[in-house]
Amino acid sequence: MIDRKALFQDAQKLKIIAPDAYVAAVLMQIPAFQQDGKFSPQRYEAVLRQNNRTPAQFESELRQSFMLETVTSPASLAAFPSATSLNQIARLVAQQREISWVDLPASTVIAQIKLKPDDIVKYYANNKSAFTEPEQLRAEYLVLDRANVAASMTVSDDDISKYYASHKAEFGLPEQRSASHILIAVEKNSDAATRAKARAKANELFKTVKKSPERFAELARSQSQDPGSAAQDGHLGSFGRGMMVKSFDDAVFSMQPNEIRGPVESDFGYHVIRLDGIQAAQTAPLSDVRVAVIDALRKQRAQKIFADLADNFGNLVYENADSLQPAAAATKLTIQQSGWMTSKNASSPFNHPGLLAAVFNSESVKSKQNTEAIEVQPGVLVAARVIEHRPARVRPLAEVKPAIEARLREEQSARLLAGQGAMMIQSLVKGNEAGQSWSAFQIVGRQPSAMLDATEAKAVFRVAAEKLPAYTGFMRPDGSYRIVRISRVLDAPGLDSRLLSSIEAGVMQAQQQADMQAMLALVKAGQKVKIQPNAIEGR
């Protein structure tokens, strides 16, 4: 959150602004807003309405995203690893090794394991925190949910028709206009001479296309300084009132089809605008918005019913403090029971801090009386009562003695095997391999396999292989100790393009993260950020 805020402030200082054409283009590409493969303003507004959002809010978020992407893109662009680095990394990643091994089973040291009577007592005394059980409890509870109340509401066809008729404005599709433009860009704070020069150029273009309208597309491609729309012959697509900057918006919505107007001044410079078409405002048919109407009716009716239910629910759990049954009977709710929980670990709905604190309150535990009705999320009330309680305790030695003994035997076995393995490796390095029963040779890579898990594979590839055979050893999950002999190193015959792509993505991500952290530090310190892409090549 802090990083995002710092970057956003930096974007504002740099006067980065999301063009209206960018917002319009993004909206048209979002599948959720499309109908029959095309952007539908009606569907756009309906989807946002269902998610309690407005077009203004959503478009503001798009503009902020553009600003953040723009201010962070230099760091992303800088993080391109060199081809030489990629090939070196790829060769190491693709390397294989020929290995064989000898396993030392735990049974070879069982006779050497000696536990003194007080070893278990000492371990218990020194590690009591490991055997401490926190306070725990179980509770019964009731959930009053407005969404469930709304879902139970019945709505007739007549109700639907009446609501639709009296709320048509909510389901209206506002007028849409499609336009094209040629932009002569100029910064908002430019001096008068620069602005006058830009305006003069825009005026010349306006006169040309006014005289020869058929040249609009050609001049948009060659002269417009809005790259996004220039590639589309100047087309901006369809948009509603308020989606563009005010001066541009006012001009477009006062024009007639095929009319050309200019120069129109905005924060981006001077526009020559052509109105391509008008789609009149219309009301969405009931069949298209029936689900939304039903949802709105249910929510509307549930609002008052839920308010009354909530008041009654709260009173009943308070007035009948020793039982949830009266509240359950009055609201037709089912009393539910939780599993065992602690004050640090509880599942829904007890993962709400207020409710969890209420059930673990000393008075609630002692009296086993109802908590008050607590709103755990908007429109969801929960009341609970403790039904079983376990105070915090240290498990007695007798209860944990078998586990401690097994743990100590395992630790002693691992130490003995590791010591035995280390001595064998020292002997092997000196060339004393006689009498060893090595497994068959196997070719392994860095990836985990049936022969080596991830930790074991790392151990095998961590060994320097300048002098072969080389040796390493490690404990295995079954309690044995494995000594591995590395007899050959096999370089990959060719580098797979997919591997290179994967490595490039990983390296770029790591470099981008490092660059971003450095840039954020500078942004927060108020310093000017400058990233030199050519500096990355030497990494």
Q: 318, 351, 401: which is closest to 118 by C-alpha?
A: 401
Highest mean pLDDT out of 1-5, 376-380, 534-538: 376-380
- d(C-alpha 497, C-alpha 125), whole Å: 58
Residue 11 has pLDDT above 80, yes or no: no
The confidence band for 78, taking pLDDT boundaries of 50, 70 and 90, is very low
Q: 248, 228, 225: which is closest to 236 by C-alpha?
A: 228
519 lies in some domain: yes
Residue 411 CA to its chain's centroid (Å): 41
The confidence band for 247, taking pLDDT boundaries of 50, 70 and 90, is very high
CATH of the domain at 218: 3.10.50.40
309 lies in some domain: yes
What pLDDT is recorded for position 133? Answer: 94
What pLDDT is recorded for position 75? Answer: 43
11 lies in some domain: yes
Q: Amino acid identity, residue 388?
A: E
Number of domains in the chain: 4
Lowest mean pLDDT among 24-33, 132-141, 181-190: 24-33
Residue 504 has pLDDT above 70, yes or no: no
Is 55 in the same domain as 117? no
Is 179 in the same domain as 269? yes
Cα-only R_g, the chain: 36
356 lies in some domain: yes
Long-range contacts of 186-194 (CB under 8 A, 24+ apart): 186/268, 186/269, 186/270, 187/15, 188/15, 188/267
295 lies in some domain: no
Structure tokens at 412: 């002693």
Lowest mean pLDDT among 35-49, 171-185, 404-418, 456-470: 35-49
Is 310 in the same domain as 386? yes
What pLDDT is recorded for position 324? Answer: 98
Highest mean pLDDT out of 15-19, 38-42, 88-92, 412-416: 412-416
CB atoms within 10 A of CB 194: 12
Q: CA neighbours within 13 Å on the CB side: how many for 396? A: 2
CATH of the domain at 368: 3.10.50
Lowest mean pLDDT among 197-201, 258-262, 490-494: 490-494
Q: Provide mean pLDDT across the span 324-346.
A: 96
Last residue of a domain, one of 370, 391, 412: 391
Residue 6 has pLDDT above 80, yes or no: no
Lowest mean pLDDT among 9-18, 260-269, 478-487: 9-18
Which domain covers residue 76, as residue numbers? 2-88+498-535
Lowest mean pLDDT among 90-99, 131-140, 335-344: 90-99
Q: Give the Cα-Cα-Cα angle 33, 36, 42 (nearest 5 degrees).
A: 40
Is 210 in the same domain as 272? yes
Residue 328 has pLDDT above 90, yes or no: yes
Task: Return the sign of the alpha-carbon dihedral for residues 402, 405, 411, 415.
Answer: negative
Is 383 in the same domain as 403? no
Residue 356 has pLDDT above 70, yes or no: yes
Is 179 in the same domain as 254? yes
Residue 512 has pLDDT above 60, yes or no: no
What pLDDT is recorded for position 382? Answer: 98
Q: Helices 41-50 & 286-319, crossing angle to 10 degrees?
A: 10
Is 409 in the same domain as 437? yes
Lowest mean pLDDT among 9-13, 139-143, 168-172, 305-309: 9-13
Q: Provide mean pLDDT across the span 14-20.
A: 57
Last residue of a domain, one of 362, 391, 420: 391
The confidence band for 192, taking pLDDT boundaries of 50, 70 and 90, is very high
Check residues 159 and 24 and name the one with the higher pLDDT.
159
Last residue of a domain, one of 245, 280, 315: 280
Is 189 in the same domain as 275? yes
Residue 475 has pLDDT above 90, yes or no: yes
289 lies in some domain: no
Name the one residue in this structure whose structure tokens are 């006012």. Answer: 250
Lowest mean pLDDT among 22-31, 90-99, 477-486: 22-31
Is 203 in the same domain as 240? yes
Residues 460, 486: contact at Cβ < 8 Å? yes
Q: Amino acid identity, residue 294?
A: I
160 lies in some domain: no
Q: Provide mean pLDDT across the span 487-508.
A: 64
Residue 523 has pLDDT above 90, yes or no: no
259 lies in some domain: yes
Is 108 in the same domain as 15? no
Share above pLDDT 90 across residues of the chain, in percent, rounded to a whole number:
53
Q: What letter would DSSP give residue 295?
A: H
Q: Amino acid identity, residue 251?
A: A
What pLDDT is recorded for position 358? Answer: 97
Question: What b/e sequence results for 315-340 when a residue is b if at least 16 CB atoms lie within 10 Å of its CB, and e otherwise?
Answer: ebbeeeeeebeebbeebebeeeebee
Residue 518 has pLDDT above 70, yes or no: no
Q: Provide mean pLDDT across the span 462-486.
A: 91
Q: What is the mean pLDDT of the chain?
A: 84
Lowest mean pLDDT among 36-40, 67-71, 154-158: 67-71
Is 263 in the same domain as 356? no
Structure tokens at 177: 């206009």
Is 261 in the same domain as 195? yes
Residue 406 has pLDDT above 70, yes or no: yes
What pLDDT is recorded for position 492? Answer: 67
Residue 493 has pLDDT above 50, yes or no: yes
DSSP per residue, 131-160? GEEPPEEEEEEEEEEHHHHHHT----HHHH
Q: Provide mean pLDDT across the span 39-51.
A: 76
Task: State pTM to two decimals.
Answer: 0.47
The confidence band for 535, taking pLDDT boundaries of 50, 70 and 90, is very low
